[in-house]
Structure 1
Amino acid sequence: MDHIPRVSEVLYVGLCRKIGTPTEVTIRRDVLDMKEMIETPLQIYRGERLMMSGSYREGFRFESSDLDRMLWGCHYKLISDISQSSFYTASGNTIILMDSTDTPPGFVRLQLLTPTSNPNISSSLVLLNDRVYISSSQFQQQSVDFINNALRHLTFTPHGPCATTTFQSTEIDHAYCFASIHWPVIAQPWVDRSLRNNWPPVHVLADILKHGCHCVPIASKTISSENELEWRLSFSQAEQKLVYAMNHTQFLCYGLLKIFQKEVLKEPLCSYFMKTTMFWIIQADCIRWCPRDLLNCFWTCFKYLIQCVYRGEFPNFFIPQNNMFLNKVVGHARTSLLEQLNRYYRMGVSCLLHSKTLRSILLPALISPSFVLHSAEGHYNAVEDVDRVLKKEIFPLSFHEKEFTHCLLLLKSIDKLSRLSFSPYQTLSLQHATAEVLTQTAFVMLNNASCCTHRQVYILDKTVCNMLRLAARVGSVTQSLLYLALYYYRMGRYNDALHVTYLTKQRLSQPYIMYRGVVDNEAVGRLSLSRKMKTAWVDDVRLDNGLHIIKELILEQEVSKQNGTLVLIISPFVLTDMLSVLCNYRLSNISQYLQSLTDLQTLLISDDGRYVPLHIRDLSWQILGICQHVVGDLHGALQSYQESLRQRPSHTIQKATEARIQYISRQFHGT
Structure 2
Amino acid sequence: MDHIPRLSEVLYVGLCRKIGTPTEVAIRRDVTDMYEMIEKPVNIQKGFVRIQSGSSKEGFRLRSSDIDRMFWPCDLKLISDISQSRLFNTSKHIIVVMEDSDTPPGFVRLRLLTPARHIDTIFLVPFDGGAYISSSLWRERYFQFMYEVRPPSEKIRIHGPCTSGFTESIEFDEAHCLATIPWPKQLRNWVYRCQRYTWPPLPVLKIILRNECHCVPIGSKGVSTSNELEWRLSFSLAEQQLVCTMNHTQFLCYGLLKIFLKEVINYRKEPLLCSYYMKTTTFWIMQLGHRRWCPNNLLDCFWRCFKYLLHCVYRGLFHNFFIPENNMFLNKVVGNARESLLQQLYQYYRMGVSCLLLSPTLRSILEPALSNLSFVLSPSEGEFIGIADLDLCVLIELLTLSFSAQHIWDSYLRLKSINTLSLLISISPHQLLTLQYGTAQTLVELAFIMANSTSCCTHKNIYNLDTMIRGMLKMAARLGPVTYLLYLSMYYYRMGRYDKTLYITYLTKHRLSQTFIMYKYTDGQRYNEATVGNLSLSRRMREAWASDVNLIYDIHCIGELCLEQNVSQRNGRYLLSLSPFVMVEMLSVLSHYRLSNRSQCLQSLTDLQTMLLYDNGKYVPLLLRDISWQVLGICQHVVGDLHGALQSYEESLRQEPFNKIKEATDCRIGCVNQQLQRNAHM
Are 1:466 and 2:465 matched, yes or no?
A: no
Q: In the aligned structure 2, how far is the partner of 1:474 from the partner of 1:573? A: 20
Corresponding position of 1:123: 122
Corresponding position of 2:75: 75
Q: Deviations over 1:211-265 (max 9, x none)?
A: 1310011110111111111110001111111111111000000000001111111
> Does the 8 A contact of 1:66 with 1:170 survive in 2?
yes
Coordinate RMSD, CA, aligned? 1.4
Corresponding position of 1:431: 436
Q: Deviations over 1:378-431 (max 9, x none)?
A: 798611110111111112222111200111000110111111231111111111
> Does the 8 A contact of 1:279 with 1:317 survive in 2?
yes
Q: Deviations over 1:589-615 (max 9, x none)?
A: 010000000000000001011100010
Q: In the aligned structure 1, how far is the partner of 2:22 from the partner of 2:35? A: 20
Are 1:454 and 2:481 matched, yes or no?
A: no
Q: Deviations over 1:78-121 (max 9, x none)?
A: 111111111111522111111101000000001111135577x4
- Give, as a single letter, the amino acid of the residue that structure 2 aligns with 1:293: N
Q: In the aligned structure 2, how far is the partner of 1:155 from the partner of 1:264? A: 28
Are 1:157 and 2:162 matched, yes or no?
A: no
**Which of 331, 336, 352 is matched with 1:332 structurally?**
336
Corresponding position of 1:11: 11
Q: In the aligned structure 1, how far is the partner of 2:471 from the partner of 2:2? A: 62
What's the secondary structure of 2:224's corresponding residue? coil
- Give, as a single letter, the amino acid of the residue that structure 1 aligns with 2:465: L
List aligned pairs for 1:21-170, cutoff 5 A.
21-89=21-89, 91-116=91-116, 121-153=120-152, 154-170=154-170
Cα distance change of structure 1 residues 617 and 374 upon mapping to structure 2, 3 Å threshold: farther
- Give, as a single letter, the amino acid of the residue that structure 2 aligns with 1:31: V
Are 1:652 and 2:643 matched, yes or no?
A: no
Corresponding position of 2:275: 271
Corresponding position of 1:443: 448
- Give, as a single letter, the amino acid of the residue that structure 1 aligns with 2:483: T
Q: In the aligned structure 2, how far is the partner of 1:654 from the partner of 1:378? A: 44
Q: TM-score, normalised by structure 2?
A: 0.96
Are 1:667 and 2:672 matched, yes or no?
A: no
**Which of 491, 503, 507 is matched with 1:487 structurally?**
491
What's the secondary structure of 1:488's corresponding residue? helix
Q: In the aligned structure 2, how far is the partner of 1:193 from the partner of 1:14? A: 35
Q: In the aligned structure 1, how far is the partner of 2:54 from the partner of 2:650? A: 41
Q: In the aligned structure 2, how far is the partner of 1:670 from the partner of 1:64? A: 53
> Does the 8 A contact of 2:22 with 2:383 survive in 1?
no
What's the secondary structure of 2:572's corresponding residue? coil
Uncovered stretches (5+) of structure 2, i.e. residues with no partner: none
- Give, as a single letter, the amino acid of the residue that structure 2 aligns with 1:139: W
Q: TM-score, normalised by structure 1?
A: 0.98
What's the secondary structure of 2:317's corresponding residue? coil
Q: In the aligned structure 2, how far is the partner of 1:450 from the partner of 1:622? A: 34
Cα distance change of structure 1 residues 233 and 165 upon mapping to structure 2, 3 Å threshold: same
List aligned pairs for 1:241-640, cutoff 5 A.
241-266=241-266, 267-373=271-377, 375=379, 382-421=386-425, 422-479=427-484, 481-515=485-519, 516-518=521-523, 520-521=526-527, 522-523=529-530, 524-640=532-648
What's the secondary structure of 1:253's corresponding residue? helix
What's the secondary structure of 1:294's corresponding residue? helix
Q: In the aligned structure 1, how far is the partner of 2:662 from the partner of 2:342? A: 51
> Does the 8 A contact of 2:516 with 2:523 survive in 1?
no
Quote how far apart the aligned CAs of 1:375 are: 4.9
What's the secondary structure of 2:493's corresponding residue? helix
Quote how far apart the aligned CAs of 1:377 are: 5.6
Q: In the aligned structure 1, how far is the partner of 2:350 from the partner of 2:151? A: 52
Equivalenced residues, count: 669
What's the secondary structure of 2:126's corresponding residue? strand
Moved more, 483-492 or 303-312: 303-312
- Give, as a single letter, the amino acid of the residue that structure 2 aligns with 1:310: Y
Q: In the aligned structure 2, how far is the partner of 1:370 from the partner of 1:118? A: 70
- Give, as a single letter, the amino acid of the residue that structure 2 aligns with 1:490: R
- Give, as a single letter, the amino acid of the residue that structure 1 aligns with 2:458: T
What's the secondary structure of 2:533's corresponding residue? coil
> Does the 8 A contact of 2:21 with 2:383 survive in 1?
no
Cα distance change of structure 1 residues 482 and 310 upon mapping to structure 2, 3 Å threshold: same
Q: In the aligned structure 1, how far is the partner of 2:355 from the partner of 2:3? A: 15
> Does the 8 A contact of 2:14 with 2:382 survive in 1?
no
- Give, as a single letter, the amino acid of the residue that structure 2 aligns with 1:586: R
Q: In the aligned structure 2, how far is the partner of 1:419 from the partner of 1:212? A: 25
Q: Deviations over 1:433-472 (max 9, x none)?
A: 1111111111111112422111011101110011111112
Q: In the aligned structure 2, how far is the partner of 1:608 from the partner of 1:376? A: 34
Q: Deviations over 1:25-49 (max 9, x none)?
A: 0111111001000000111111011
Moved more, 365-374 or 179-188: 365-374
> Does the 8 A contact of 2:13 with 2:382 survive in 1?
no
Q: Deviations over 1:634-665 (max 9, x none)?
A: 11111111110110000111001111111111
Cα distance change of structure 1 residues 309 and 187 upon mapping to structure 2, 3 Å threshold: same
- Give, as a single letter, the amino acid of the residue that structure 2 aligns with 1:431: Q
Quote how far apart the aligned CAs of 1:514 are: 1.0
Quote how far apart the aligned CAs of 1:169 are: 2.0
What's the secondary structure of 2:678's corresponding residue? coil
Q: In the aligned structure 2, how far is the partner of 1:412 from the partner of 1:303? A: 51
What's the secondary structure of 1:525's corresponding residue? helix
What's the secondary structure of 2:636's corresponding residue? helix
Quote how far apart the aligned CAs of 1:575 are: 0.5
Moved more, 32-41 or 138-147: 138-147
> Does the 8 A contact of 1:622 with 1:657 survive in 2?
yes
Q: In the aligned structure 2, how far is the partner of 1:166 from the partner of 1:272? A: 20
> Does the 8 A contact of 1:618 with 1:650 survive in 2?
yes
> Does the 8 A contact of 1:16 with 1:376 survive in 2?
no
Q: In the aligned structure 1, how far is the partner of 2:4 from the partner of 2:565? A: 58
Q: In the aligned structure 1, how far is the partner of 2:380 from the partner of 2:586? A: 40
Q: In the aligned structure 2, how far is the partner of 1:3 from the partner of 1:358? A: 15
- Give, as a single letter, the amino acid of the residue that structure 1 aligns with 2:255: G
Cα distance change of structure 1 residues 384 and 517 upon mapping to structure 2, 3 Å threshold: closer
What's the secondary structure of 1:126's corresponding residue? strand
Uncovered stretches (5+) of structure 1, i.e. residues with no partner: none
Q: In the aligned structure 1, how far is the partner of 2:593 from the partner of 2:319? A: 70
Identical positions, percent: 59
- Give, as a single letter, the amino acid of the residue that structure 2 aligns with 1:223: V
> Does the 8 A contact of 1:21 with 1:377 survive in 2?
no
> Does the 8 A contact of 1:2 with 1:296 survive in 2?
no
Quote how far apart the aligned CAs of 1:168 are: 2.3
Q: In the aligned structure 2, how far is the partner of 1:548 from the partner of 1:498? A: 19
Q: In the aligned structure 2, how far is the partner of 1:149 from the partner of 1:639? A: 38
Q: In the aligned structure 1, how far is the partner of 2:401 from the partner of 2:285? A: 35
Q: Deviations over 1:161-216 (max 9, x none)?
A: 01111232222111111011111100111111111111112221111111131001
> Does the 8 A contact of 2:547 with 2:580 survive in 1?
yes
Q: In the aligned structure 1, how far is the partner of 2:384 from the partner of 2:277? A: 38
